[in-house]
Amino acid sequence: MKKIYIITGHYGCGKTNLSVNLAVRYSEQGLKTAVADMDIVNPYFRTADFSSLFREKNISFYSTLYANTNLDIPALNFDIEAIIMNHECIILDIGGDDAGAVVVGRYFDTLKRYMSSTEMIYVINRYRETGDDAEEAVRLMREIEQSARISHTGIVNNSNLGRLTAPEDIISSVGFAEKVSELSGIPVLYHTADRNLKCRQLDGLAEYIDIYVKTSFA
Amino acid sequence: MTAERVLMKGNEALAEAAIRAGCKCYFGYPITPQTEIAAFMAKNMPKRGGTFLQAESEIAAINMVLGAASAGVRVMTSSSSPGISLKSEGISYIAASDLPCVIINVQRGGPGLGGIQPAQSDYWQAVKSGGHGDFHILVFAPNSVQEMADMVVKAFEKADQYRIPAMILSDGMLGQMMEPVVFPEISDKMPEKPWATNGHGNKRKHNIINTLFLQPDELEASVNARSKKYETIVENEQDAEFYLTDDADIVVTGYGAASRICREAVDEARKNGIKAGLLRPKVLWPFPVKDYQKIVPTAKSILCVELSTGQMIDDVKLAVNCSVPVEFYGRTGGNLPSAEEIIKKLAEINDSLS
């Protein structure tokens, strides 16, 4: 059974980190996995930073020709149909906001044929600058859907404060995620937490993830 | 209710803090890696009683800044390296007009179009050659997302206090990385600006803001008056942070993103028995000469680390009167040095000391 995950959300909510986690998880489960870095918006901190990890984990990786170069040209040069056909699990890491989601709309004619296998996940972080304004989060979700021409199927609550995240920060973000879910009618799939924060309060509540996207200094 | 701590990119935090500091006008032109500032302003200024205007060029934007500053409002522009070069004529005019404004440079690699990754190769431009003529601008050097916010507030205040342009010299790494930030309470009371060329209903004689002087003596008097003002600023506004410098044989020095890596290197070097410390300038003009003087009696060597081939190092040597040897380590092209590279250099220097 083929699975396609389209990862969307606000700039800096953690789309790339979640994409890398999903890819590693499914590849380790034995699925033939591919990640496509489809971010045409932001030239810093992107999945293309992890190509060596992907090689090590046997994950196929596709990115724009100019990712991690000094050219920030919004060009996509790979065949999404071929990537989908050749893999069992496909993760599409999309750029931020509705501007980034335009690329999903561009591939709509291909993606629509795989709708029953597709999950479009909206990643949220209540500690980003839009704050815990659930209505704002839903408004952005709808804008992304308009650009993407596809509706979301799930929400991942990825609320964090970077290196300074404490378990309480994650616990106190649950209500926000539930509010976004209630207003949008889209279910919360899970809440994430850095594996290093593992503790009793989070066990059972959070899905532990690894933090790949970070600065090279503390 | 917004959460107290917010996770933001440096560019966003800076823009939010500017609005909170009473910035009413933003004029700019997009360029990576600072475009988030313009995007944030475009979204938020109209909602919060301000004006966002995307100019047709950097040159137009800086001249709009001159106009708004003349009218007495808090005004800001932002760009990255090549765009700042375009603005330099306007910066000279603003300095010559004794007008306050805030200019953001989120540095990228140069010269020329260079690249979009972080660099610190506009140090000379910021502190020594921001444009033609005898003038200085205040230059602040944040090294965290929190300081991107705090320093832009300070930049507006100091710019008004001294009637001088103030620059935040940031870089692509600080602009793009995310860290939690807490916004300070800011007084909404703006300073009086009796010199502004705004409407007053015939209550006073009209003000003139001008940079052309027909008589040499008049120009000289104007230049000298400004020079006096600079002396006051040099006396009062030097600022630096000391970290483990008291007993340090080697004092590492760097600003902005480089200082973050230096601090990590200092901690690691200490674990390896190397007595290293860090002196981080928070203000680049006026250069914190008084702070560098404090390390002269104890430091055996200074290591200057920059994302350039060596620019600030000149000021470091001058600040210590060349009484302590100053070594250099730098990376360019958008590459960041790793802590390991700096530790290796520290070990070499340490060996040469014994």
CATH number at residue A25: 3.40.50.300
Q: What is the mean pLDDT of residues B165-179?
A: 97
**What is the model's pLDDT at position A43?**
74
Does residue A203 lie in a domain region? Answer: yes
Q: Please state whether beta strands A60-63 and A33-38 pair in parallel, antiparallel, or not at all (unpaired).
A: parallel
Structural domain includes residue A217: no
Angstroms from A214 CA to nearest CA on chain B: 8
Low-confidence winner among A70-84, A93-107, B98-112 (lowest mean pLDDT): A70-84
CATH 3.40.50.970-classified regions of chain B: 6-195+205-236
Q: Is B209 left (phi over 0), alpha (psi -120 to 50) or beta?
A: beta
Interface test with A, best of B1, B20, B178, B280 (most A CBs within 10 A): B178
User: Are residues B6 and A128, on separate chains, in Cβ contact within 8 Å?
Assistant: yes
Indicate the length of chain B as a whole number: 354
CA distance A217 to chain B (A): 6
Class of domain B6-195+205-236: alpha beta
Residue B129: pLDDT band (50, 70, 90) is confident
Q: How far is CA B178 from CA A12, A218, B39, B147, in A?
A: 8, 12, 16, 12
Percent of chain A having pLDDT more than 90?
Answer: 76
Select the residue of B7, B12, B117 nearest A161 (Cβ to Cβ): B7
User: What's the rounded Cα separation, in Å, for the pair B281 and B269?
Assistant: 21
Delimit the CATH 3.40.50.920 region(s) of chain B: 241-353
Q: Could you report the per-residue pLDDT of A114-149, keeping only the tens digit for each?
A: 999 999 999 999 999 776 799 999 999 999 999 999
Task: Give me the amino acid identity at B217.
Answer: D
pLDDT tens digit sequence for B221-272: 999 999 999 999 999 999 999 999 999 999 999 999 999 999 999 999 999 9
For the record, the structure tokens of B244 come out as: 């483990």
Q: Which residues pair with B92 in a beta bridge?
A: none
Please count the residues of chain A.
Answer: 218
Instruction: Please name the fold of domain B241-353.
Output: Rossmann fold (3.40.50)
Other CB atoms closer than 10 Å to residue B147's CB: what's the count?
A: 23
CA A8 to chain centroid, in Å, comes to 5
Any domain includes A89: yes
With bands split at pLDDT 50, 70 and 90, how would you rate the model's confidence at B3?
A: very low
C-alpha to C-alpha distance for B119 and B168, rounded to whole angstroms: 14
- The predicted-structure confidence for A46-79, as pLDDT tens digits, reads as follows 777 888 899 999 999 998 777 767 776 777 878 8
pLDDT at A61: 93
Looking at beta carbons, which residues of chain B come within 8 Å of A160? 7
Residue A67 covered by a domain? yes
- Domain boundaries, position A128: 3-209
Q: Is the pLDDT of residue B2 over 60?
A: no
Average pLDDT in chain A:
92
- Residues B64, B14: contact at Cβ < 8 Å? no
Q: What is the DSSP letter of B64?
A: H
Find the mean pLDDT for residues A190-213. 96
Closest CB from A43, A44, A127 relative to B5: A127
Residue B185 pLDDT grade (very low, low, confident, very high; cuts 50, 70, 90): confident
Q: A10 at the B interface (CB within 8 A)? A: no
Task: Report ipTM (2 d.p.).
Answer: 0.88
Q: Do B5 and A161 lie within an 8 Å CB cutoff?
A: yes
CA distance B145 to A127: 14
Kindly state the percentage of chain A with pLDDT values over 70.
99
Which of A59-73, B9-23, B159-173, B312-326 comes out lowest in average pLDDT? A59-73
Chain-centre distance of CA B288, in angstroms?
A: 13
What's the average model confidence in pLDDT over A1-17? Answer: 94
At A65 the pLDDT is 72
Contact B278, B262 (CB under 8 A): yes
Q: Does A70 touch chain B (CB under 8 A)?
A: yes
pLDDT reported for residue A216: 79
pLDDT in tens, B67-84: 999 999 999 999 999 999
Structure tokens at A189: 């799939």
pLDDT in tens, B19-71: 999 999 999 999 999 999 999 999 999 999 999 999 999 999 999 999 999 99
pLDDT classification of B1: cutoffs 50, 70, 90: very low
CB B161 within 8 A of CB B97: no
Q: Which residue would you say has higher pLDDT here, A217 or B267?
A: B267
Look at residue B188 and tell me whether its pLDDT is greater than 90.
Answer: no
Counting the structural domains of chain A, the total is 1
pLDDT at residue A153 in the model: 98
